C-alpha cells in the first residue's frame, strides 16, 4: 500500500511573514496528518520561516519548488540541493510545467535536478504533463513517456522507488478545468507501465503518482477514488490554510474504490 501524498505548491506566492502565519493556522486546522503525507512548497525566500514555524512537527513535509543541479559554485541566482537540505527541505518539485513553459527547462535538466536532489537526500517530485496541443494531436502518451524516461534516466533501485511523479496536464493547471478521472487514470497507468519497463514491476509498484491541475476540496475525492492516483499536487487551492486543511481531511477520509 502506497502512502498518499498531498502537496501544496505555493508557486510565487507568500512572503516569509505570511508563510509563518500560514503554517501556524494550518497546524491549528490540521494537528495531525493521520496516515497520509502532507507537504507544501513555499518559495525559496519563505522556506526558513516555514521551517521555523513548523518546529519539530513530523506531520508536515517541507519542500522547494526547484533546485539547481550543482551543489555550489558560480551559478548566480541558483539554489542547490545542499542549501535546501540545510533549510530542512525533504522534497523538491522538478520540471514543473511552468518551469518548462516560461524558463525553457529541458528534459535533460530535469534529470540532472532529480540526481542532485537524490544526492542530497531530498525526495524529488518529477512533474510531467502534456499541453492541450499535445492532447488534441494525440501526442499525450508520447510526451509523457519521453518526460518520464528522460527525467528518470540512470535512476535505479531504492532511489527510483523513492521517486514521486506528479501528472499535471498543462491545460488543467490554473484553469479551473481539471482533468476528469477518466482522462487522468489512463495516463497514471501509462506512467507506472513506463517505470515498470525501466526498472521492473517491484520498483514500479512503490513509486507514487500524484494528479495535479485544478484540484479543489470539491473534486479531490473523485481522483482519490482510483487506486492509480496516490495523491495530489495542488496550486490555487493550497494557498488558504483552511482550504488546504480541508483538502487534507478529505484525502485522509477517502479510500480508493476503483482500480
- Report the catalytic residues: 96, 168
The residue (of 35 and 174) whose beta carbon lies closer to ligand 13P is 174
186 touching ligand 13P, by CB under 6 A? no
The residue (of 54 and 215) whose beta carbon lies closer to ligand 13P is 215
Please list every residue from 237 through 256 that binds ligand 13P, using CB under 6 A: 237
Shortest approach of ligand 13P to residue 219 CB, angstroms?
Answer: 10
233 touching ligand 13P, by CB under 6 A? yes
The residue (of 96 and 159) whose beta carbon lies closer to ligand 13P is 96
The closest residue (CB) to ligand 13P is 235
144 touching ligand 13P, by CB under 6 A? no
Which DSSP string do the residues of 138-156 spell out, in sequence order? T-HHHHHHHHHHHHTTT--
Helix (H) or strand (E) holding 6: strand 5-9
234 touching ligand 13P, by CB under 6 A? yes
Taking a C-beta distance cutoff of 8 angstroms, is the pair 39, 91 a contact? yes
Bin 4: left if φ > 0, else alpha if -120 < ψ < 50, else beta. Answer: beta
The residue (of 68 and 244) whose beta carbon lies closer to ligand 13P is 244
Cell 482519490 belongs to 224
35 touching ligand 13P, by CB under 6 A? no
Q: How far apart, in whole angstroms, are the C-alpha atoms of residue 215 and residue 120?
A: 30
The greatest distance separating any two alpha carbons of the chain, rounded to the nearest whole angstrom, comes to 51
Q: How far apart, in whole angstroms, are the C-alpha atoms of residue 45 and residue 229?
A: 31
Helix/strand/coil for 62:
strand
Q: How far apart, in whole angstroms, are the C-alpha atoms of residue 172 and residue 180?
A: 10
214 touching ligand 13P, by CB under 6 A? yes
User: Which residues on adjacent β-strands are paired with residue 231?
Assistant: 5
Q: How far apart, in whole angstroms, are the C-alpha atoms of residue 237 and residue 225?
A: 19
Shortest approach of ligand 13P to residue 212 CB, angstroms?
Answer: 4
128 touching ligand 13P, by CB under 6 A? no
Name the segment binding ligand 13P (CB under 6 A); options: 22-30, 55-63, 108-116, 235-243: 235-243
Shortest approach of ligand 13P to residue 235 CB, angstroms?
Answer: 2
Near ligand 13P by CB under 6 A: residue from 35, 174, 186, 253: 174
Taking a C-beta distance cutoff of 8 angstroms, is the pair 133, 87 a contact? no
Binding stretches for ligand 13P (CB under 6 A)? 9, 96, 168, 173-174, 212-215, 233-237
Amino acid at each position: 500500500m502506497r502512502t498518499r501524498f498531498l502537496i501544496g505548491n505555493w508557486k510565487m506566492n507568500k512572503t516569509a511573514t505570511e508563510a509563518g502565519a500560514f503554517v501556524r493556522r494550518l497546524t491549528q486546522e490540521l494537528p495531525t496528518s493521520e496516515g497520509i503525507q502532507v507537504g507544501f512548497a513555499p518559495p525559496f525566500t519563505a522556506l526558513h520561516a516555514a521551517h521555523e514555524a513548523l518546529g519539530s512537527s513530523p506531520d508536515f513535509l517541507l519542500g522547494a519548488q526547484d533546485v539547481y543541479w550543482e551543489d555550489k559554485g558560480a551559478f548566480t541566482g541558483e539554489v542547490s540541493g545542499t542549501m535546501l537540505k540545510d533549510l530542512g527541505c525533504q522534497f523538491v518539485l522538478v520540471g514543473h510545467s511552468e518551469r518548462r513553459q516560461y524558463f525553457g527547462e529541458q528534459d535533460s535538466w530535469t534529470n540532472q535536478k532529480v540526481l542532485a536532489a537524490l544526492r542530497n537526500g531530498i525526495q524529488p517530485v518529477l512533474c510531467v504533463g502534456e499541453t492541450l496541443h499535445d492532447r488534441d494531436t494525440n501526442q499525450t502518451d508520447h510526451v509523457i513517456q519521453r518526460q518520464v524516461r528522460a527525467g528518470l534516466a540512470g535512476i535505479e533501485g531504492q532511489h527510483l522507488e523513492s521517486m514521486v511523479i506528479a501528472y499535471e496536464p498543462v491545460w488543467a493547471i490554473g484553469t479551473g478545468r481539471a482533468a476528469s478521472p477518466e482522462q487522468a487514470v489512463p495516463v497514471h497507468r501509462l506512467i507506472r507501465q513506463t517505470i515498470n519497463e525501466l526498472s521492473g514491476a517491484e520498483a514500479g509498484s512503490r513509486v507514487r503518482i500524484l494528479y495535479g491541475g485544478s484540484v479543489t476540496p470539491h473534486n479531490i475525492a473523485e481522483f482519490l477514488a482510483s487506486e492509480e492516483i496516490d495523491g495530489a499536487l495542488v496550486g490555487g487551492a493550497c494557498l488558504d490554510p483552511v482550504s488546504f486543511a480541508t483538502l487534507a481531511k478529505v484525502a485522509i477520509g477517502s479510500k480508493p474504490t476503483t482500480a
